[in-house]
Structure 1
Amino acid sequence: FSFSPSQITAANGTVVTFQFTGVPGNHSVTQSSFASPCQPLDGGFDSGWIFVNTTSDTPPEWSVTITDDSKPIWFYCKSKGPTARTVCNLLHLCDAGCMVGVINVKNGTNTFDAFQAAAKSDKAPGQAQGGLVGVGASASAEPFVPSGA
């Protein structure tokens, strides 16, 4: 139960595509901040709920375009449903909290490991309402399942 990879580097203009596979149920990519890993960032992006179906060969996708690569873009999955949490805990893939990732993490004290550790203590991920434009990145479309894939 994790973003894979959980850290990437992407220059301005790069399109970052999230594919939703794995644990069935609703998932999201929701922008957050280093200070509040599992809470929506005011003015941040949110994919909205994306249903992951184990019987589909073609996973849903959602993309964001990087518009400011000078700052980290922190994000999390707002899923707190019993299916996702139960599977996650049974497989020992997470301790608690929310699933997190970052684009363009910088050297210094705000490391991905510190972000992930803070996320593990958050038992109630914030429930943002979908938004295509965020801070440092934006999407041009809602999530979709690619056709002909």
Structure 2
Amino acid sequence: MNTQLLTVFALVGVAMASDFRVTVGISQITGQVGTGLDPNRIVPAAGDTITFSWLIPSYIQNPATGTYSVTQGTYDAPCKPMAGGFDSGPKTTGPESAGQAPTMTFQVKDDKPLYFFSSVDDQCKKGMVLGVNSPASGPGSVESYILAAGGNPNADTTTNATTTPAAPSSTNTTSASNTSASKNNTSPSSTTASKQPANSGSTNSSSAKPQGSTANTVAPQSLLTAAGVLSAALFL
């Protein structure tokens, strides 16, 4: 019976994990194609995953492509690879509609701050940094990380591209970003976006939301299954 209970609890834990999508090659200032990681700060829990995607969102038409990496670093040595850390290597972006650009997944083990950046050329100093469970401002923040490397956290690195609003009411990136950043009690990343200061260089993007709301849609089904197995186990 103990083995069955452990299996049930393990299944419930997996089902409740969320996945945070981070788009590579999108400016965190404008939400358009450029040197950046969007969003550039997330707050996942232990067991959650981060999916790094080089797929350019479909709202951007005829996008310019670029080559970027996602490389794990440390706060004490900004813009330098961490020994034994995650490193995607340089990869080229592509339109989401074509579905030909790569994605990579990283699993979060605990709630300690993590830092990722692009090691291609000087993209890190131009603001291409992601903070995971990092402070929103002050020491330890993405902004201070970039400043410590001698970079500009608020650089506008947008490249030329034609964009089409997703809806008539959203005529620019700012309005679309603000809509996506509205508070949602069921989305942990929406809360994160709302806490970001205006001068942090962060964009409140829809990509900050956990994909598929895994924690809210899968967990109830798993709990029902777990309850069934638990009930059966108690009668054995």
Q: Which interval holds the TM-score relative to the shorter structure?
A: 0.5 to 0.7
CA distance in 2, matches of 1:40, 1:99: 14
- Cα deviation for residue 21 of structure 1 reads 3.9
Contact 2:71 2:85 in 1 (8 A): yes
In the TM superposition, 1:42-61 aligns within 5 A as: 42-53=83-94, 57-58=98-99, 59-61=101-103
Structure 1 consecutive aligned stretches of length 4 or more whose deviation exceeds 4 Å: none
**RCO greater where, 1 or 2, for CA within 8 Å and sep 6 or more?**
1
- Cα deviation for residue 115 of structure 1 reads 0.9
CA distance in 2, matches of 1:53, 1:38: 25
CA distance in 2, matches of 1:119, 1:40: 13
Pairing partner for 1:64 from 98, 106, 122: 106
Per-residue CA shift, 1:17-71, capped at 9, x if unaligned? 01114552321110001122210011211012212235962232111010122x1
Per-residue CA shift, 1:67-89, capped at 9, x if unaligned? 122x11101011128xxx7xxxx
Q: Which residue of 2 aligns with 1:32?
A: 73
Structure 1, unmatched stretches of 5+, are 86-93, 123-149
Residues 1:99 and 2:128 are matched in the alignment: yes
Contact 2:129 2:146 in 1 (8 A): yes
CA distance in 2, matches of 1:4, 1:60: 16
**Cα 1:112–1:98, aligned 2, differ >3 Å: closer, same or farther?**
closer
* Greater share of residues in helix: 2
Residues 1:8 and 2:38 are matched in the alignment: no
**Cα 1:100–1:119, aligned 2, differ >3 Å: closer, same or farther?**
farther
Q: Which residue of 2 aligns with 1:126?
A: none
Aligned alpha-carbon RMSD (Å): 2.8
Q: Secondary structure at the match of 2:76?
A: coil
Give the partner amino acid of 2:90.
W
Contact 1:20 1:61 in 2 (8 A): yes
Q: Secondary structure at the match of 1:115?
A: helix
Contact 1:73 1:105 in 2 (8 A): yes
Q: Which residue of 2 aligns with 1:73?
A: 114
Per-residue CA shift, 1:90-149, capped at 9, x if unaligned? xxxx9x546111111147622222012224439xxxxxxxxxxxxxxxxxxxxxxxxxxx
**Cα 1:60–1:113, aligned 2, differ >3 Å: closer, same or farther?**
same
Structure 1 vs Structure 2: percent identity of aligned residues? 31
Q: Which has the larger radius of gyration?
A: 2
Structure 2, unmatched stretches of 5+, are 1-34, 57-63, 153-236
**Cα 1:3–1:103, aligned 2, differ >3 Å: closer, same or farther?**
same
Q: TM-score, normalised by structure 1?
A: 0.61
Q: Secondary structure at the match of 1:11?
A: coil
Pairing partner for 1:17 from 51, 65, 72: 51
- Cα deviation for residue 14 of structure 1 reads 0.5
CA distance in 2, matches of 1:121, 1:109: 15
